[in-house]
Amino acid sequence: MMIITKSSDLKVEQREASRRTISCVASSRHKHDRQNSQSVHDDGAEELINLNLLVGIKLKNEPMMLELTAPVYVTGDIHGQFSDLIRLFSIVGWPPKVNYLFLGDYIDRGNWSIETISLLFAIKLKYPLNFLLLRGNHETPTVNRIYGFYEDIVRRFSNPRLFMVYQDVFSMMPLTALVSERILCMHGGLSPILLNNDISILKQIIRPIVDPPNPSLAIDLLWSDPDAHVQGFKTNIRGVSCTFGPDCVATVCEKNKLDLIVRAHQVVQDGYEFFANQKLVTIFSAPHYCGQFDNAAAILGISKELVCSFQILRPQFPERAKTTSEPTQLTVYKKL
């Protein structure tokens, strides 16, 4: 699939959903703030439900493994850090001028999950061909029921149905993407199943997947982690899925003629971190994560010639605004 930067015509209801989404979410937050912690019934819930239904149709029609062509910017976890998402777009570029592939974990942890996922869905609806969204492990009900998303919806909208509509959309999201036939992307990591099968098996995963079973190929794509101290696949201390060693990365890359595997899922101090002799890189795009870490964020840029570079977003601390470093772009990888 070729990434197309020219937007197509939209139906009236799609344009209206995109235009009104953020205003209705902002309205719900304003009403909630005025009434402290009291539950608020808000007509904006119906707007969000309509947005989800329209985006769900778009996602359902996409393959489970997206195939796209560079140039593209690859973005890791956002976790409800809405202001940092806006900063990211302001620095790297707004759609449709820039092509994006997001690797999941849009919600939970941060305070602005509904705003974040609503903006991403609205942009997806307007520019479906060059704004691509993969699923993360937090886009599953067993996780986002616990880590803030459900509570935020019920507190602000008093509408549990809205929560279930989001889960229906999440269950349709693609799990992997292949960039220019050379770079494989997912949220979590590799699976033992990929040792005995080529990556075409990623196209055969059947939807909907509400909560992926453990073990399964889908759960590994959402949850697994690299570990430099193991060989093969081992039990994951998270209690879900597995860890994999550098040998697994080398085997999967050689078998499928891949130059790089890109994943998210873990906080890394500089926003990116290489593994397995630069055959795998972890991208994390939420700076100052949860207000508890001093990590930077990174966005991976892949040029048409498959030259990889990183756009770095330094954490912004209000009390140290004058000494905070400006974002910089560092080319740290060679032509693939």
DSSP character string of 152-209: HHHHHH--HHHHHHHHHHHTTS--EEEETTTEEEESS---GGGGSS-GGGGGGPPSP-
Count the Cβ atoms, other than its own, within 10 Å of residue 71.
17
Q: Which residues, 6+ apart, have CB-to-CB distance to 91 below 8 Å?
A: 311, 313, 327
Q: SS3 of 256, please?
A: helix
Dihedral of alpha carbons 138, 144, 150, 151, sign = negative
Query: In 9-103, which ranges are E strands?
Result: 65-68, 72-75, 100-102
Q: SS3 of 22, please?
A: helix
- For strands 297-302 and 280-283, give the pairing: unpaired
Q: Which of 333, 149, 178, 143 is nearest to 253 (CA)?
A: 178
Identify the active-site residue in 79, 138, 265, 288.
138
Active site residue 79: no
Q: Which two tokens stand for residue 191?
A: 């699976």
Residue 336 to residue 257: CA distance in whole angstroms = 11
Count the Cβ atoms, other than its own, within 10 Å of residue 6.
8
Count the Cβ atoms, other than its own, within 10 Å of residue 304.
10
Residue 306 to residue 38: CA distance in whole angstroms = 51
Q: SS3 of 244, please?
A: strand
Specify the residue for token string 């770095």. Answer: 312
Provide the annotated active-site residues.
Answer: 138
